[in-house]
């Protein structure tokens, strides 16, 4: 077993035993850049600092580990440089002494050392105290114990790396080598993911548990490495105070992209907790339709039906057939990722505030004949609430009538939104267990 702590700074010799430099870094190609993303991870290049201070990219297969030194198979200038790989991971600067996520135990860990095989395959990381001691003691003093596999070895493929954006040392490389070898460095902190990105395989609630163990900046970096929809699902599972900190750490464009995947009421609750300047910045990055819905919801008092409701619902004319309604429901789910349980029957579905006439559950819709109209199927004896209704009384109404959602209408009977059962339950929970954040304004 080889250890990065012993490899860094190790002398590099030519075939005749003459020292020509020292090893300064081991680079690893990200999964998406490898021919077999799910296969073993091998070092893509070694960085060797020559006696004149120049850095060389060296193919790992051209270097043999012998005793306490690395031996080149041919002269350093004669070695062909390995193919350039974009966004390589620096084990010395981006992994060692940094935090990573142990996906098996779903917790953050500190990387005390990195373990490699003699063929330069990256085995995993050592998080044990012995890993720290190994860095303080020379290899010859540790003897055979120093080459044993650590008891706290976490396999490389079960890690998620949190990179801090520290640039690699590139002084001494020729300009062409510098541009080909490292690619453009990203300015903001971001996620670096080994082989197949197993983080995405976890449930949003499990990833949220991991985020709760990280700093807000680290949580933001973790979300940046995921797609918008997944990041939105995770953010909704994070506690309210940490949600705010993460949104403040994310770049505005990235935060807005995540917010677009959330329902308007959830966006309003999050923005209401942010400083007004930041909230307005994010609102400007939303589409006019999205920002208008959110601004309307922000006008209502927090502990009211208006403050709880969402404008993400499906409203259709009563003349629509059940077949048309089912097709509209499919589009609603696909286009808006809706989770509606009811279809609200209105007098004019094209109006911004149509009058509510009745409601049809999707179960009744599924068993109806295709030609039946919503007007025939709808329930007219409606349970509704006013926008100014107290949030707790709304929750009690939903519980009393065993509803999945209750429509919110104004004095004229115009549909304003709906309060869903999950948000109603949230009102009944103790403050420390609520998903919905208290509003700042």
> 258-291, pLDDT tens digit by residue?
999 888 888 888 888 888 899 999 999 998 888 8
Q: Cβ neighbours of residue 364 under 8 Å, at least 6 residues apart?
A: 377
Structural domains of the chain, ranges and CATH numbers in brackets? 2-182 (2.30.30.240), 210-299 (1.25.60.10), 314-433 (3.10.580.10)
Look at residue 338 in the predicted model and tell me its pLDDT: 63
Rounded Cα distance, 45 and 61, in Å: 9
Higher pLDDT, 280 or 241: 280
Q: DSSP E strands: which ranges in 204-250?
A: none
- pLDDT exceeds cutoff 50 at 174: no
SS3 252: helix
Look at residue 145 in the predicted model and tell me its pLDDT: 54
Higher pLDDT, 196 or 432: 432
Rounded Cα distance, 243 and 216, in Å: 8
SS3 204: helix
- pLDDT exceeds cutoff 80 at 336: no
Look at residue 105 in the predicted model and tell me its pLDDT: 87
Alpha carbon 317 to chain centroid distance?
Answer: 39
Of the given ranges (233-242, 305-314, 425-434), which has the lowest mean pLDDT?
425-434
Q: Of 228, 388, 422, 194, which Cα lies nearest the Cα of 300?
A: 388
Tokens of 233: 């699902």
User: What region does 183 belong to: left with phi over 0, alpha with psi -120 to 50, or beta?
Assistant: left
Average pLDDT of span 136-142: 60
- Banded model confidence at residue 434, pLDDT cuts 50, 70, 90: low
Predicted confidence (pLDDT) per residue in 363-398, tens digit: 999 999 999 999 999 999 999 999 999 989 999 999
Q: Cβ neighbours of residue 134 under 8 Å, at least 6 residues apart?
A: 3, 5, 6, 113, 126, 142, 146
Query: Residue 247: is it exposed, middle or buried by C-beta count within 10 angstroms (0-12/13-18/19+)?
Result: buried
Residue 248 belongs to what H/E stretch? helix 240-249
Look at residue 324 in the predicted model and tell me its pLDDT: 96
Q: In 309-402, which residue ranges form alpha helices assigned H by DSSP?
A: 322-336, 362-367, 374-377, 391-400
How many of the other CB atoms lie within 10 Å of CB of 187? 8
Work out the widest C-alpha separation in the chain, in whole angstroms. Answer: 94
Average pLDDT of span 319-329: 95
% of the chain at pLDDT higher than 70: 83
Predicted confidence (pLDDT) per residue in 340-354, tens digit: 889 999 999 999 899
Q: Cβ neighbours of residue 65 under 8 Å, at least 6 residues apart?
A: 2, 71, 118
Q: Cβ neighbours of residue 309 under 8 Å, at least 6 residues apart?
A: 265, 297, 300, 387, 408, 416, 417, 418, 419
Look at residue 74 in the predicted model and tell me its pLDDT: 80
Mean pLDDT for all residues in the chain = 82
Query: Residue 375: is it exposed, middle or buried by C-beta count within 10 angstroms (0-12/13-18/19+)?
Result: middle
Contact 33, 180 (CB under 8 A): no
Look at residue 149 in the predicted model and tell me its pLDDT: 57
Measured in residues, the chain has a length of 441
DSSP for 262-324, written as a single string: S-HHHHHHHHHHS-HHHHHHHHHHS-HHHHHHHHHHHTS-TTBHHHH-BS--EEEETT-BHHH
Cα–Cα separations (whole angstroms), residue 300 to 294, 335, 391, 428: 11, 27, 11, 19
Rounded Cα distance, 421 and 426, in Å: 9
């Amino acid at each position: 077993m080889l250890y990065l702590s012993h490899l860094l700074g190790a002398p590099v010799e030519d075939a005749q035993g003459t020292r020509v430099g020292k090893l300064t870094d081991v680079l690893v190609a990200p999964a998406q850049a490898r021919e077999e993303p799910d296969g073993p991870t091998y070092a893509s290049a070694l960085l060797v600092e020559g006696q004149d201070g120049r850095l060389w990219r060296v193919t790992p297969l051209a270097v043999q580990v012998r005793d306490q030194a690395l031996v080149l198979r041919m002269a350093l200038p004669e070695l062909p440089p390995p193919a350039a790989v974009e966004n390589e991971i620096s084990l010395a600067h981006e992994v060692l002494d940094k935090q990573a996520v142990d996906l098996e135990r779903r917790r953050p860990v500190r990387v005390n050392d990195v373990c490699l095989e003699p063929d330069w395959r990256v085995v995993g990381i050592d998080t044990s105290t012995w890993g720290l001691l190994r860095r303080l003691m020379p290899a010859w003093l540790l003897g055979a114990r120093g080459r044993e596999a650590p008891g706290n070895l976490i396999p490389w493929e079960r890690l998620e790396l949190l990179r801090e954006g520290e640039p690699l040392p590139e002084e001494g490389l020729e300009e062409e080598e510098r541009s080909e070898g490292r690619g453009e460095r990203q300015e903001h902190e971001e996620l670096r993911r080994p082989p197949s990105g197993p983080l995405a395989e976890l449930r949003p609630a499990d990833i949220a548990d991991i985020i709760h163990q990280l700093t807000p900046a680290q949580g933001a970096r973790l979300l940046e490495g995921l797609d918008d929809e997944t990041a939105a699902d995770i953010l909704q599972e994070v506690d309210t105070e940490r949600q705010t900190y993460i949104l403040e750490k994310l770049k505005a464009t990235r935060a807005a992209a995540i917010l677009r995947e959330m329902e308007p009421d959830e966006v309003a609750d999050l923005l209401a907790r942010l400083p007004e300047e930041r909230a307005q910045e994010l609102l400007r990055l939303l589409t006019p339709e999205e920002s208008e819905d959110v601004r309307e919801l922000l006008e209502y008092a927090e502990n009211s039906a208006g403050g709880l409701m969402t404008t993400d619902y499906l409203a259709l004319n009563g003349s629509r057939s059940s077949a048309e309604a089912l097709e509209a429901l499919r589009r609603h789910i696909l286009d808006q990722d809706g989770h509606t349980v009811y279809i609200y029957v209105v007098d004019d579905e094209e109006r911004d505030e149509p009058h509510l006439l009745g409601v049809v559950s999707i179960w009744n819709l599924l068993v109806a004949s295709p030609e039946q109209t919503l007007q025939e199927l709808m329930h007219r004896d409606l349970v509704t609430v006013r926008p100014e209704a107290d949030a707790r009384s709304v929750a009690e109404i939903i519980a009393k009538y065993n509803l999945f959602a209750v429509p919110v209408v104004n004095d004229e009977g115009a549909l304003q939104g709906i309060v869903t059962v999950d948000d109603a339950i949230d009102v009944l929970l103790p403050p420390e267990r609520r998903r919905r954040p208290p509003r700042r304004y």
